[in-house]
């Protein structure tokens, strides 16, 4: 145990100052989310969640009545908000703000517990590490209700409960184990590619601990074996209950087809593509820099007389701080928001590689002869790593980490104290008291400053057109609180007004590509199975889509011309439109939309619609 290692179990109990800190962190994070919603919106992603929630709130069953490639919980939560509070966008923005704040508080408590007995002043140290969450919380970068963000919150909740199991008191018993086991399953039903690796990793770790206890009865384990068995039982019971609910509602075969088979077919990347995220030049110099610093502080090199000097420790500090200093310097070096964002995201592979090495070292240490204690908590970074790499399967980009910054900071909190050698290591250099806090301050300064610029620049949202200038605010009561720059809201409101005036409520519509929250705003019942057309959600070939339009008696085809998303991902767009326009004629051209009607009715039947034509 180093000089900085001070047992402070009382600091883990909730006190008045914890309430103030939690409230501040929650409010700052929520304020960032609400500020984001006040000036930016990505209609493509927003419409998918809100329109799907709308049809669920109207009684349609996902996986049975319409295809859905994602797990259901986010959509069910938003549908519940719709049923309870009505169709008002601000309610959903408020949900994102509150859950974003709760995610930051959960992450702070996880960080606090992970630092137990490892650093001095752990309360202040944990708050320092968690500070960037005010601008990098789960909903700060993408501020609309989303399955990635909700899944990140569920992962944090499960980690929080698992960490509490490690307490050597009666609270770490069977009820707590059952609760933790149930929480393990929640991420799976928000986002499959994140939740499944997380669940399997934790279950494997629990089984491993039970096996080791069985093989070495004299070894103590935290939590007690009964609590570990309860974790397995809680997970099994939750999965069984979920399977029964799915069987009697959507149908378990339907659920597995759309969320596993179809989703994997459309989005599962190859191993080479996954490994490609580590091919970043930043890693090629930052990782050797960290390795060189550790060589100065630990191992055979630490026995050299010159490594015992203050200058050697300052050199080690500079090498460890260099990646974070470079990230800060990138704000001055680059003017382009994309390059600034890349310099921040480049920290991810470095932290993940180092965290993986640390986690694997802890895993190997479980098998060390003479070990007197086994614990689950030090192994939980492996579960966080599994969840993170599962998220990268979505888009194979570091931009997929937009909801995972709390896990990044959790891994950073695990890494920083590990730099200081323990008292049992003979080949090491004792560190001065200022070393770890100063290094943590540099790292946090880089993340919070660059993270603030990253969030404010909307670089992660650059796949959508967010032109400069003031944001337009919707005048529709249902879209109260929705604001975004550009002509998109005005164009959409014109479409809503047109459909209210000229399209009978019972008529079936097909919107291509489905970028707008049309059914949420109008309250109409969706009658076509697919509402958003991209490779991940659209199962139809062009002819199949036309056949389905016939079967659903689609009378109106609405094609959006002025898309906010920069690249139209509609599969086989030209072939699809060529087929459709053989049977649908252009009736009206609005500012951003072409409205077609089924050829059974000629546009002369609606002379007033001709007056609504725009060039």
Q: Would you say residue 426 has pLDDT above 90?
A: no
Segment 266-275, tens digit of pLDDT: 776 666 666 6
Segment 287-328, tens digit of pLDDT: 999 999 988 887 666 666 666 677 888 899 999 999 999 999
Report yes or no: 440 and 121 within 8 Å, Cβ to Cβ: no
Confidence of residue 606 (pLDDT cuts 50, 70, 90): very low
Segment 351-402, tens digit of pLDDT: 999 999 999 999 988 888 667 678 899 999 999 999 999 888 766 566 788 9
Segment 82-92, tens digit of pLDDT: 999 999 999 99
- pLDDT attached to residue 611: 40
Verify cis geometry, omega within 30 degrees of 0, for the bond prior to 223. Answer: yes
Q: Do β-strands 472-473 and 554-560 pair in parallel, antiparallel, or remain unpaired?
A: unpaired
- Rounded CA-CA distance 604/613 in Å is 13
Segment 144-187, tens digit of pLDDT: 999 999 999 999 999 999 998 865 545 568 899 999 999 999 99
* Mean of pLDDT over the chain: 89
Segment 477-488, tens digit of pLDDT: 999 999 999 999
For 306-404, where are the alpha helices, taking DSSP H only?
Answer: 310-333, 337-345, 347-365, 380-395
Report yes or no: 173 and 233 within 8 Å, Cβ to Cβ: no
Report yes or no: 464 and 567 within 8 Å, Cβ to Cβ: no
Confidence of residue 604 (pLDDT cuts 50, 70, 90): very low
- pLDDT attached to residue 401: 86
Sequence-separated (6 or more) residues with CB below 8 Å from residue 22 = 105, 108
Q: Select the more confidently predicted residue: 279 or 156.
A: 156
Segment 518-567, tens digit of pLDDT: 999 999 999 999 999 998 888 999 999 999 999 999 999 999 999 999 98
Q: Is 431 helix (H, G, I), strand (E, B) or coil?
A: coil
- Rounded CA-CA distance 528/272 in Å is 37
Confidence of residue 602 (pLDDT cuts 50, 70, 90): very low
- pLDDT attached to residue 5: 42
| Longest CA–CA separation in the chain, Å | 95
**Quick one: average pLDDT of 235-259?**
96
């Amino acid at each position: 145990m180093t000089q900085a290692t001070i047992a402070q179990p009382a600091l883990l109990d909730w006190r008045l100052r914890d309430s103030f800190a939690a409230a501040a962190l929650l409010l700052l994070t929520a304020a960032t989310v609400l500020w984001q919603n006040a000036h930016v919106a990505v209609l493509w992603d927003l419409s998918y969640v809100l329109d799907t929630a709308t049809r669920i709130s109207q009684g349609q069953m996902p996986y049975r009545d319409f295809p859905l490639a994602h797990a259901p919980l986010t959509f069910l939560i938003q549908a519940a908000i719709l049923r309870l509070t009505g169709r008002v966008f601000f309610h959903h923005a408020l949900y994102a703000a509150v859950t974003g704040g709760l995610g930051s508080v959960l992450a702070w408590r996880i960080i606090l517990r992970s630092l137990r007995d490892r650093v001095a002043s752990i309360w202040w140290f944990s708050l320092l590490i968690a500070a960037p969450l005010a601008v990098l919380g789960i909903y700060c970068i993408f501020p609309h209700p989303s399955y990635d963000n909700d899944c990140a919150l569920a992962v944090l909740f499960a980690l929080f409960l698992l960490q509490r199991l490690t307490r050597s008191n009666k609270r770490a018993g069977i009820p707590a184990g059952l609760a933790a086991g149930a929480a393990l399953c929640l991420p799976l039903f928000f986002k499959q590619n994140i939740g499944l690796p997380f669940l399997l990793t934790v279950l494997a770790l629990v089984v491993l601990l039970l096996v080791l206890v069985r093989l070495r009865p004299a070894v103590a384990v935290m939590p007690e074996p009964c609590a570990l068995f309860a974790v397995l039982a809680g997970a099994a019971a939750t999965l069984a209950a979920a399977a029964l609910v799915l069987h009697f509602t959507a149908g378990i075969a339907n659920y597995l087809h759309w969320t596993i088979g179809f989703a994997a077919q459309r989005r599962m990347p190859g191993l080479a593509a996954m490994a490609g995220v580590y091919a970043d030049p930043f890693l090629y110099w930052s990782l050797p820099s960290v390795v060189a610093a550790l060589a100065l502080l630990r191992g055979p090199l630490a026995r050299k007389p010159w490594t015992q000097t203050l200058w050697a420790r300052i050199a080690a500090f500079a090498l460890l701080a260099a990646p974070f200093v470079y990230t800060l310097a990138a704000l001055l070096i680059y003017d382009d928001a994309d390059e600034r964002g890349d310099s921040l995201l480049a920290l991810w592979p470095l932290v993940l590689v180092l965290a993986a090495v640390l986690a694997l070292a802890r895993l190997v240490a479980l098998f060390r002869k003479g070990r007197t204690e086994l614990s689950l908590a030090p192994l939980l970074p492996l579960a966080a790593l599994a969840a993170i790499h599962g998220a990268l399967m979505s888009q194979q980009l570091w931009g997929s980490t937009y909801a995972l910054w709390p896990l990044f900071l959790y891994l950073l909190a695990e890494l920083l104290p590990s730099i200081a050698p323990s008292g049992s290591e003979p080949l090491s250099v004792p560190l001065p008291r200022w070393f770890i806090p100063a290094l943590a301050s540099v790292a946090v300064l880089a993340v919070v400053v660059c993270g603030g610029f990253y969030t404010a620049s909307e670089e992660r949202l650059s796949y959508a057109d967010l032109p400069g200038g003031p944001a337009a605010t919707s005048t529709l009561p249902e879209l109260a609180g929705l604001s975004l720059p550009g002509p998109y809201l005005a164009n959409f409101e014109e479409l809503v007004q047109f459909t209210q005036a000229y399209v009978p409520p019972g008529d079936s519509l097909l919107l291509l590509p489905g970028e707008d929250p049309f059914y949420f705003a109008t309250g109409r019942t969706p009658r076509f199975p697919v509402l958003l057309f991209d490779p991940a959600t659209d199962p139809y070939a062009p002819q199949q889509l036309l056949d389905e339009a016939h079967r659903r008696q689609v009378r109106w085809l609405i094609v959006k011309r002025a898309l906010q998303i920069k690249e139209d991902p509609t599969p086989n767009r030209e072939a699809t439109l060529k087929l459709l326009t053989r049977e649908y004629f252009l009736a009206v051209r609005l500012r951003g939309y072409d409205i077609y009607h089924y050829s059974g009715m000629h546009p002369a039947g609606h002379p007033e619609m001709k007056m609504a034509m725009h060039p």
